[in-house]
Amino acid sequence: MYDTIIIGGGPAGLAAAVKAKKLGLKVLLLDENEFLGGILPQCIHPGFGLHYFKEELTGPEFAHRFIREINELNIEHYTNAYVLEIENYSDLEKKVVFSSPEGVKEVWGKTIIYAAGARERHAFEIGIVGDRVAGIYTAGEAQTLMDIYGVMPGKEVVIVGSGDVGLIMARRFALEGAKVKAVIELMPYPGGLARNVMILRDFEIPLYLSHKVVEVRGRKRVEKVKVVKVDENLKEIPGSEFWIECDTLLISAGLIPNVKLLKKIGAQIDPLNGGPIVNEFLETTIPGIFVAGNALLINDLVDYVAEQGELAALGAKEFIENQGILSRKWIELKRGSNVRILAPHYISGERDVYIYARVSRPMENVRVTFPEIEKELRLPVVKPSEMLRIKLKAEEIQKAEEEITMEVGKGEV
């Protein structure tokens, strides 16, 4: 029986494994890929680890630091291990069934740290119609092709979505000599971090805000895509359609936490985050199953992902020591105005917590308030693309009776 079985060898799972081992737990790490690191090995651009390691690394470098520790600490792990099933046998015993080149195996753990990441939304999910031809990729798929396997997908590219992955791939394509003809963004503002939005200026790539791609045409491969402008309610404006010729369409329309296995065993899901409802230890509604990284909520920085992995490991330790997370007076953390994504959902006031949040729309000169505990902070700007990470101190939380609301509003009010 393992103390904790960690599902997923990306940054959240790696950080969780290292931390759990250092806390003295018996750890098993399972990853479905041929190599550890999750998507980090294909993220060959810099910008990783500024918070966590206080220096700027590429994705492979960031992963490598953890993988080295995994090896130095002799943490038991399998690659090519795909989890087929989780069974919550009892609150203190969980079974994980996984497939590997050594066979279908069953392992038992007191806790599970679920760090299975996210998947990308694809063309069909965002309502694109037309021909189903070659040349349509999700941004991550194109990144895998180019940066792991050295394949050039195409030469004239239109990118749907101005999130970080889309922008980074715009640069990647441009650097390899492709023509990036447009980035098409549904919202009236760009979806990525400011430093990534700069890419568009650097490479003179047109950005169409409040636009969407609605149709693809081509015989064997993409030949053109149809773009339409939308109004402030995201409704298409008739007569605004135009075509862009291209051979490649990249879909970078957001990520969805990969929680199918958790759903199957009844973990409650927060419909807005897409990930599970969790307490301050990142424990789901199933005792002893913790979640971290993009399976919890979509993060913008890998540093937060690693931080969540470590927190989940602390949770697992607490769980094992007490045969469960001790009952507490849980205070519910609630979304107020302009808060779309929020976790954790329940906090106790026994320790400081970081809360992760995203706003629904950008705002300048901002007041973030928690009325029940009379906490307030001011920010020059908030954007949906940049996650807010706010520390609530134990003594602050204790001021609340039953709930704490997070509000994001205008500064002058």
Partner 1 sequence: MKTRVAIIGAGISGASIARVLSKYENLEVHLIEKNADVGWGVSKANTALIHGGYDDDPEKYPVRAKLCIKGNRLWHEWVKELEIPHIWNGALIVALRDEDFKELEELLERGRKNGVPEMRIVDKEELFHLEPNLNPEALGGLWVPIVGQIGPIPAVIAIVENAVANGVKLHLETEVRGIKVEGGEVKGVETNNGFIEADIIINAAGLYADEISRMVGVEDFEIHPRKGEYWIFDDDIPGPRRVLFPTPTPKSKGVVVTTEISGHLMIGPNAQDLPKEEKENLATTREGLEEVWKKAKELWPNLPPRSKVIRTFAGLRPEPTGGDFIIRAEKEVWGFINVAGIRSPGLTSAPAIAYEVRDIIKRDLGIKLVEKKKWNPYRKDITHFFMLSKEKANELVKQNPSYGKIVCKCNHVSEGDILEAIERMKLIGVKTPSIDSIKVRTKATSGTCQGSFCRVRIARILAREYGVDLWNVTLKGKGSEIGIGDVKVLLRGDVE
**What is the separation of C-alpha 264 from the centre of its chain, rounded to a whole number of angstroms?**
21
User: What's the min distance (Å) between Cβ of 148 and partner 1?
Assistant: 8
**Residue number with CB closer to partner 1 (29 or 400):** 29
Q: How far is the CB of 343 from partner 1 (least distance, A)?
A: 21
Residue 44 engages partner 1 in binding (rule: CB under 8 A): no
Q: Which one of 101, 238, 239, 380 is in contact with partner 1 (CB under 8 A)?
A: 101
Minimum distance between the CB of residue 326 and partner 1, rounded to whole angstroms? 34
Among 50, 214, 265, 269, binds partner 1 (CB under 8 A): 214
Residue appearing with tokens 């195996």: 105
Q: Report d(CA 29, CA 78) in Å as an integer.
A: 6
Which residues are CB-contacts of 36 (< 8 A; sequence separation ≥ 6)?
Answer: 9, 14, 29, 63, 66, 67, 70, 77, 79
d(C-alpha 201, C-alpha 219), whole Å: 33
Return the SS3 of 95.
strand
Residues numbered 283-322 forming contacts with partner 1, rule: CB under 8 A: none
Q: Which is nearer to partner 1, 152 or 194 (CB)?
A: 152
Report, in Å, the least distance between residue 259 CB and partner 1.
11
Tokens 């003179």 appear where?
204
Please, which residues have CB within 8 angstroms of residue 103's CB and are 6 or more apart in sequence? none
Residue 54 or 149: the one with the smaller Cβ distance to partner 1 is: 149
Of the residues 1, 24, 51, 84, which one makes contact with partner 1 according to CB under 8 A: 84
- The identity of residue 78, as a single letter, is Y
Q: Which of 408, 382, 297 is nearest to 345 (CA)?
A: 297
Q: Which of residues 121-180 bind partner 1 (CB under 8 A)?
A: 122-125, 127, 129-134, 137-138, 140-141, 144-146, 149-155, 176-178
Residues 6+ apart with CB under 8 A from 238: none
- Identify residues 349-388 at the interface with partner 1 (CB under 8 A): none
Q: Which is nearer to partner 1, 103 or 380 (CB)?
A: 103
What does each C-alpha distance from 343 to 352, 359, 366 come to in angstroms?
A: 14, 13, 20
User: What is the binding site for partner 1 (CB under 8 A)?
Assistant: 32, 80, 82, 84, 97, 99-104, 119-120, 122-125, 127, 129-134, 137-138, 140-141, 144-146, 149-155, 176-178, 214-215, 217, 219-221, 260, 263
